[in-house]
Amino acid sequence: MTDRTSEALPISVRNITKTYGRVHALDDVSLEVRSGEFLTLLGPSGSGKTTLLMVLAGFTRPDCGSLKFGDREVIRTPPHLRDVGMTFQSYALFPHMTVAGNVGYPLRLRKVPKTEIGRRVEAALETVQLGGFGDRRIDQLSGGQRQRVAVARAIVFEPRILLMDEPLSALDKKLRDQMQIELRHLHEKLGMTTVYVTHDQREALTMSDRIAVVNHGRIMQLATPRDLYERPANRFVADFIGESTFLPVSRSGKDVLYDGQRLLCEVPQIETDNLLLMVRPERVVLSREGPRDGVNNFAATATEVVYQGDSFLLHADLPGGGQMVLRGAMRGANVTALPAVGESLTLCLAPEDTVLIDGSER
Ligand code: ADP
Ligand code: MG
């Protein structure tokens, strides 16, 4: 396949709404996907991810809104004229056709000459590392191979936009991890503007240039994996990406207090009467020798200690009625003696790991 990075197209979604009866599958969604970007829609089941992808592909007509590929308004353009390749949530391969028959289908639909079809099908199969598999039947393939056939079919006509709906969700973990890296490499090689859908936050973090977190048909936050994890816009995003516990805090002038204690932290400019301290378990440091200088110290009592091989989890109660969870590395003193339930400890949070967020859910 040729390198077409220079020909990738940006996507502009403006104020798109799609309702089914009383369900707002998409609720006034606006989104800009950059040319050549790998953007992931991440959200729980039923949040509207597939609906948005179907709108991009042209299989679903929204109630209102605008959709542009580059400068071109495409909201009324039928799917096969949109220059979009797509893999569906169920692979949607044709079981009665061979691998080559499946992959060549979009080319036949576009009336590409027969000799040309053979050449391009083989090139697409090479790209997904299925060279020589053209004559196989679909039911002779493993899940991972079927997935690759679906990808080959989506890219065979060299579309400028590639849409993928949970392509790896049916695969076991090991294969999924491997395919994540492969799809990412494929994207780097082909350079198509890619919109990828998953409900798996780790997959989204692994693969994406940027992630749009979707809930109830709305975009909660659009940011790089790092910004999303480090600075979630609200509690929903913080809960959905990674693990966290939350502690209620209060403002006192310019300060922020937890249980009467002033926190060393950056105070964000957010208007909310529900300010929360977000604590990521891997950022909490265990001190068994009391408070430390230059950090936020929380006196705590261990309530649960769970050995997990490479790490351990410690749940603790704080005097103010809150709970904190710490994930610690299994090394050093922890290998010989983990903290015991009931033990009094100090949990430390560096100022840069003391992150305040808007506690609202949406
Ligand atoms: P996701 O892909 O994030 O799981 P969907 O986009 O499939 O979510 O669905 C979003 C919402 O729209 C859900 O509540 C779903 O039940 C509803 N929905 C989707 N498609 C249809 C349809 N064809 N008819 C009725 N309701 C639908
Ligand atoms: Mg879906």
pLDDT digits (tens, 9 = 90+) for 117-166: 999 999 999 988 899 999 999 989 988 899 889 999 999 998 999 999 99
CA 65 / ligand 1 centre spacing (Å): 18
Residues near ligand 1 (Cβ within 6 A): 20, 23, 25, 43, 45-51
Beta bridge partners of 219: 214
Dihedral sign computed on CA atoms, order 135, 133, 145, 49: negative
pLDDT for the residue numbered 89: 84
CA 97 / ligand 2 centre spacing (Å): 26
CA 214 / ligand 1 centre spacing (Å): 13
Give the 3-state secondary structure of residue 108. helix
- Report how far residue 338's alpha carbon sits from residue 232's, in angstroms, rounded to the nearest whole number: 31
DSSP 236-259: HHHHHSS--EEEE-EEETTEEEET
pLDDT for the residue numbered 297: 97
Pocket probe mutation, ligand 1, options 51, 86, 87, max atoms within 8 Å of Cβ: 51
Reported pTM: 0.90
H/E stretch holding 123 reads helix 114-127
CB atoms near residue 18 (< 10 Å): 22
For the domain made up of 5-236, give the CATH fold.
Rossmann fold (3.40.50)
Q: Where are the domains of the chain?
A: 5-236, 244-358
Query: Which residue type, as a one-letter code, is found at position 362?
Result: R
Q: Which pairs from 60-66 meet CB under 8 Å and 24+ separation?
A: 60/18, 62/16, 62/17, 62/18, 62/26, 63/17, 63/18, 63/19, 64/15, 64/16, 64/17, 65/13, 65/14, 65/15, 65/16, 65/17, 65/28, 65/29, 66/12, 66/13, 66/14, 66/15, 66/16
* 88-102 pLDDT per residue, tens: 887 789 988 999 999
Q: Which protein residue has the closest C-alpha to ligand 1 atom 15? A: 46
- Architecture of the 244-358 domain: Beta Barrel (2.40)
CA 198 / ligand 2 centre spacing (Å): 8
Classify burial at 329, counting beta carbons within 10 Å of its beta carbon; exposed 0-12, middle 13-18, buried 19 or more. Answer: exposed
